[in-house]
Amino acid sequence: MLSGILAAIAGIVLSARLFSGDPVVGDAYSLDSVAAAVVGGTSLFGGIGGLIGTLAGSFLISLTNNILNMLDIFAYYQYIIKGLILVVALFLFQLRGSKR
């Protein structure tokens, strides 16, 4: 219930910020949220991860978004770069898990 309420509030804030009620306007945030969690060390299979790592991953993805926007890189290339960051994080997580 809390998740639904917070999602509704986020949707209202986003639509108020953009002055639009387009249902696909938040699609770009799904990659960012998953990438932030994975870069922070959260396993896609569950059971591993923490708050500090997720906050660090969120900071890193936000910093990457800001840098790419300031460099005026086209939006589709930004998706590619963030996807590559996600793949590298998954690869490093896999390497770390196999050494245990």
Q: What is the mean pLDDT of residues 72-82?
A: 91
Q: Please give the single-letter amino acid code of residue 52.
A: I
pLDDT score, position 9: 95
Kindly report the pTM of this predicted structure.
Answer: 0.74
pLDDT score, position 11: 87
Q: What crossing angle do the helices spanning 51-70 and 28-39 adopt, rounded to 10°?
A: 130
Average pLDDT value over all residues in the chain: 86
Q: What crossing angle do the helices spanning 75-98 and 51-70 adopt, rounded to 10°?
A: 150
Tens digit of pLDDT for each residue in 38-71?
Answer: 888 887 777 677 889 889 989 999 999 999 999 9
Q: What is the CA radius of gyration of the chain?
A: 15
pLDDT score, position 89: 85
Which sequence spans correspond to the domains of the chain?
23-98
